[in-house]
């Protein structure tokens, strides 16, 4: 079984960190309909207060778009955000008999294709313990290179060495050779989870531009007098459009 995780909305996009180990990190894509917004507060108790109130009257900052009104308000509905998280996961792994992973590569400041050419030239030679290379691929998320040989029996001796010196350009560099693992999911189960610091706002009319509306919502919901608090992240999708919110693990 997988450990229970608290999730939080951090924005519409997220970045990956290069980790030199196997790590399964939930990355939840949540459809956000037009006329709605997601707000993540720094404290869970603030989000709970906003949800319990259910309906909120928000004062808008009206500029040239609504100059005929000195002041205008809108009513929005607040609801909790429930998502499905994996609770149990089983993966069957198998080692490729013809592929290797090459890592600890030096930063030579050359294009990827040239680096791939140099690696293919080196590992194609039998005197280096290699053989004919059938395919090569640069893995952007890890900075590693996967090489696939045309014949069996080439990859295993290289993997057993672990490290090998390679001539790249005018220098010799020690690089790491690892097995290439492939896998497929044999069992995956989900359980519902509520995001404790995030609130879904709906019923937002299309009466302001995207940025002024987002600012108006943040100003309103960070006021303690309105039951709000410090806002950590906010995203707004105008009516007639759709967005996708990305939820990552809440480490705060």
Regarding whether 217 and 165 lie in a shared domain, the answer is no
Regarding whether 231 and 175 lie in a shared domain, the answer is no
pLDDT in tens, 3-60: 555 554 444 443 344 434 455 667 788 999 999 999 999 999 999 999 999 999 998 8
| Domain boundary residue, one of 185, 210, 236 | 185
DSSP-based three-state secondary structure for 226? helix
Owning domain of residue 146 = 91-185
Helices (H), ranges, 151-247: 155-161, 210-221
Write the DSSP assignment of 110-142 as a string of letters. Answer: --HHHHHHHHHHHHT-GGGT---EEEEEEETTT
Number of domains the chain contains: 2
Per-residue pLDDT at 106: 87
Residue 1 included in any domain: no
Q: What is the pTM of this model?
A: 0.57
pLDDT at residue 61 tops 80: no
Beta carbons within 10 angstroms of residue 144's beta carbon: 21
Residue 177 included in any domain: yes
pLDDT in tens, 155-175: 999 999 999 999 887 889 999
Regarding whether 95 and 83 lie in a shared domain, the answer is no
pLDDT in tens, 93-137: 888 899 999 999 888 888 889 999 999 999 999 999 999 999 999
| Domain boundary residue, one of 185, 204, 239 | 185
Q: What is the CATH number of the domain that holds 160?
A: 3.30.70.330
Residue 130 included in any domain: yes
| Domain boundary residue, one of 141, 160, 185 | 185
For the chain, the distance separating the N- and C-terminal CA atoms, rounded to the nearest angstrom, is 23
């Amino acid at each position: 079984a997988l450990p229970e995780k608290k999730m939080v909305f951090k924005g519409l996009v997220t970045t990956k960190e290069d980790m030199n180990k196997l790590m399964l990190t939930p990355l939840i894509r949540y459809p956000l309909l037009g006329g709605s917004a997601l707000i993540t507060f720094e404290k869970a108790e603030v989000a709970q207060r906003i949800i319990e109130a259910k309906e909120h009257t928000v004062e808008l900052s009206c500029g040239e778009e609504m100059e005929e009104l000195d002041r205008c308000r809108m009513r929005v509905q607040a609801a909790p955000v429930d998502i499905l998280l994996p609770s149990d996961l089983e993966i069957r792994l198998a080692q490729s008999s013809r592929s290797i992973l090459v890592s600890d590569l030096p930063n030579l400041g050359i294009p990827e294709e040239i680096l791939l050419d140099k690696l293919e030239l080196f590992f194609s030679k039998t005197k280096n313990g290699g053989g004919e290379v059938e395919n090569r691929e640069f893995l952007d998320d890890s900075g590693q290179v996967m090489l696939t040989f045309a014949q069996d029996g080439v990859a295993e001796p290289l993997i057993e060495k672990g490290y090998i010196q390679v001539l790249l350009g005018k220098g010799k560099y020690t690089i790491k050779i690892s097995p290439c693992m492939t896998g497929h999911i044999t069992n995956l189960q989900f359980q519902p989870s509520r995001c404790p610091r995030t609130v879904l706002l709906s019923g937002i009319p299309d009466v302001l531009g995207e940025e002024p509306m987002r600012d108006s919502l943040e100003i309103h919901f960070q006021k303690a007098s309105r039951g709000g608090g410090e806002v950590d992240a906010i995203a707004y999708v105008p009516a007639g459009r759709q967005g996708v919110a990305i939820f990552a693990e809440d480490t705060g």
